[in-house]
Amino acid sequence: MYLTDKKVAVIGAAGAIGSNLVQDLLSTGVANNIAMYDPFEAGLEGAAEEIYHCAYPGANVSWTTDVAKALEGATYIISSGGAPRKEGMTREDLLRGNCEIAKGLGESIRQYAPGAEMVIIIFNPADITGLTTMIYSGLKPGFVTTLAALDSTRLQTRLAQHFGVRQDEVTGCATYGGHGEKMAVFKGGISVQGVRLTDILAGATVGGRGMSAEEWSAIQEHVRSGGARIIKLRGRSSFQSPSHQSVEMLRGRITGGGYPWPCGCYFHDGPYAKVMMAADTQFTADGLVGSVPEGDAEDMAALQDSYEHLCKLRDEVIAAGILPPVDQWSAVNPHL
């Protein structure tokens, strides 16, 4: 009835994302054995009661304000437990506070859930909080990832709106690199009703509609400000889509594949080494394995820019003393 009965710990479960996550894990049939953790006890109990009142058959849902109890024996961990982004803040504004939280989470995972097989970090700036969690957790890099899909699904959404086609008729949408304002919105793999976007940019049309270079730039910009736009429209940051895509990532891990969007990946070496960034991934028994993005000169330049920005953010966190220098990471996590 559920894909797994292994324990899933949801960190930040009183929040909008976390409480939605628990519901979505159960509604999708992905997992039924869920420990809800949050330091805010009343809200946590209220969120848990809501789930109980859903009366999912076979559900085994507990709640606790003790992170040790939540993590103990967890195979899967999903954390939205950072401070949320407010209107006008960039993701990077959140950098230091949330990296401290990520460090604490990583240390707790190392202590209480060393057998975890997938950790998904949602709280922003997720590339850096995910990296920080991964380093301190002591887990294999492929066992820790970040939610990175939303930029790509926003790109898919916007292209579908532009061409007036069904959303799933737009394929191959992907943004790579960081999840912040410096994300690299690639055009290379995209097709609309089977017509390549690069051909459309060169004059082809779909249902009579084409796309100019200016329109493509505007769409890229729309995607980059996609999170801020949700805050403006709803008066709160997105929570339904981060939750659902995290559940789909977990489904991919459990079933061994089929997750179609970029995920946060750590590259040990190669051109994008020593950061966690959005890339296409394979879901293997050994965790997520990223592949180096490929694109035209323009796309690759944007990715290089994004990578350098991520390195800069990482170095800020190192300078703040939250992460050790890169050459000392392996002393903290032997898998690095």
Query: Peptide bond before 125: cis, by omega within 30 degrees of 0?
Result: yes
The answer to the question of residue 168 lying near a copy of itself (CB under 8 A) is: yes
End-to-end CA distance of the chain: 38
Beta carbon nearer to a copy of itself, 129 or 237: 237
Q: Does 33 bind a copy of itself (CB under 8 A)?
A: no
- Bridge-based pairing state of the strands 33-37 and 60-64: parallel
Residue among 209, 234, 268, 312 that touches a copy of itself (CB under 8 A): 234
**Residue 192 to residues 147, 160, 166: CA-CA distances in angstroms?**
25, 8, 10
Q: What is the gyration radius of the CA atoms in the chain, in angstroms?
A: 20
Query: Applying CB under 8 A, does 190 fall inside the site for a copy of itself?
Result: no
> Are 259 and 251 in contact, with CB atoms under 8 Å apart?
yes
Nearer to a copy of itself, 49 or 298 (CB): 49
- Nearest approach, Cβ of 157 to a copy of itself (angstroms)? 4
Contact region with a copy of itself (CB under 8 A), list: 81-89, 201-209, 225-233, 309-317: 225-233
Tell whether residue 171 is a contact of a copy of itself (CB under 8 A): no
Q: Is residue 242 within 8 Å of 80, Cβ to Cβ?
A: yes
CB of 223 to a copy of itself, least distance (A): 11
The binding track of 244-283 with respect to a copy of itself, each residue x by CB under 8 A or -, is xx-x-------------x----------------------
Reading the block at residue 324, the tokens are: 């050790």
Alpha carbons 241 and 252: distance in angstroms, whole number: 16
* E-state strands within 1-107: 8-11, 33-37, 60-64, 76-79
Least CB distance to a copy of itself at residue 14 (A)? 8
DSSP 56-81: -TT-EEEEES-HHHHHTT-SEEEE--
Binding mask 131-160 for a copy of itself (x = CB under 8 A): ------------------xx--xx-xx--x
Q: Is residue 43 within the footprint of a copy of itself (CB under 8 A)?
A: yes
For position 230 contacting a copy of itself by CB under 8 A, the verdict is yes
Cα distances (Å, whole numbers) of residue 259 to 245, 256, 270, 284, 293: 9, 9, 24, 12, 17
Contacts with a copy of itself by CB under 8 A lie at 19-20, 23-24, 27-28, 42-43, 45-47, 49-55, 57-60, 149-150, 153-154, 156-157, 160, 166-168, 226, 229-230, 232-235, 238-241, 244-245, 247, 261
